[in-house]
Amino acid sequence: AEIERVARTAFAAARAREGKVTSVDKANVLETSRLWRDVVTKLHANEYSDVRLEHALVDSMAMQLIRQPRAYDVILTENMFGDILSDEASVLGGSIGLAPSASLGAEGPGLFEPVHGSAPDLAGRDKCNPIGAILSAALLLRYGLRLTEEANAVEAAVERVINSGARTADLGGTIGCQAMAERIADDLLRAVSHSHHVQMHWG
């Protein structure tokens, strides 16, 4: 039942994205992984055949994730493999400070936090990268509150600010945590007020 639950979440996420799930296991060695693969395969055939499904072994996946990260959309795996692969994936963008996370249960909105945790050694020094926390809020909007447009707006603001050259220390820049957060907030407010202006103008 638990394998089905997490697989449903993955297939539903893929339907809203690029329509592809990569299920990661160790079915060549572990009996639990053979059960995993059987359950995922049957659920896919019965309810989610419109989504592309591929299977990968975790050791091969660890290599391919570095070699060709753009080849993947939604990665579905069990807790231990997921813990390892998510930390590996978090540095592909250049810093673990960029990575958000969402823990989604069957009930309630879920738990949303940066992958790196609270970083107490950096507290009060204005050195943290706030992007992981801001993108976690975007995940809350998307998956916890079903506010897709708002989530898209937050993610787009982060992307624009990064593309403008703004960098915190972990990315080789000099901007502090507060200044980076303010730049993203200002960009988001500008974009929102502009879109309202356009809607009013054409409405």
pLDDT (tens digit per residue) in 32-48 = 999 999 999 999 999 99
6: pLDDT strictly greater than 50: yes
Cβ neighbours around 128 below 10 Å, total: 24
* pLDDT value of position 172: 92
Of the candidates 82, 74, 65, which has an alpha carbon nearest to the alpha carbon of residue 14? 74
More confident of the two residues 153 and 123: 153
pLDDT, averaged across the chain: 91
pLDDT confidence of residue 200: 47
At 165, is the secondary structure helix, strand, or coil?
Answer: coil
What is the model's pLDDT at position 202? 47
**117, two tokens:** 């945790």
End-to-end CA distance of the chain: 49
The arithmetic mean of pLDDT across residues 136-155, rounded, is: 94
- Residues 161 and 183 sit within 8 Å (Cβ to Cβ): yes
Task: Look at residues 176, 178, 175, 132 and name the one whose alpha carbon lies nearest to residue 155.
Answer: 132
Q: What is the pLDDT of residue 91?
A: 81
Residue 39 and residue 67: Cα distance in Å, rounded?
29
Q: Over range 49-66, report the average pLDDT.
A: 97
pLDDT of residue 87: 83
Among residues 34, 37, 29, which one has the least CA distance to residue 53? Answer: 37
In the block, tokens 């200002």 appear at 186
Pick the range with the lowest mean pLDDT from 9-18, 44-53, 97-106, 168-177. Answer: 97-106
**146: helix, strand or coil:** coil
Q: Are 158 and 131 within 8 A, CB to CB?
A: yes
Tell me, what's the pLDDT at 77? Answer: 97
145 — pLDDT class (breaks 50, 70, 90): very high
Q: What are phi and psi of 28, to 5 degrees?
A: -80, -10
Task: Give 85-143 pLDDT, tens digit per residue.
Answer: 988 888 888 888 899 998 887 777 889 999 887 778 888 899 899 999 999 999 999 98
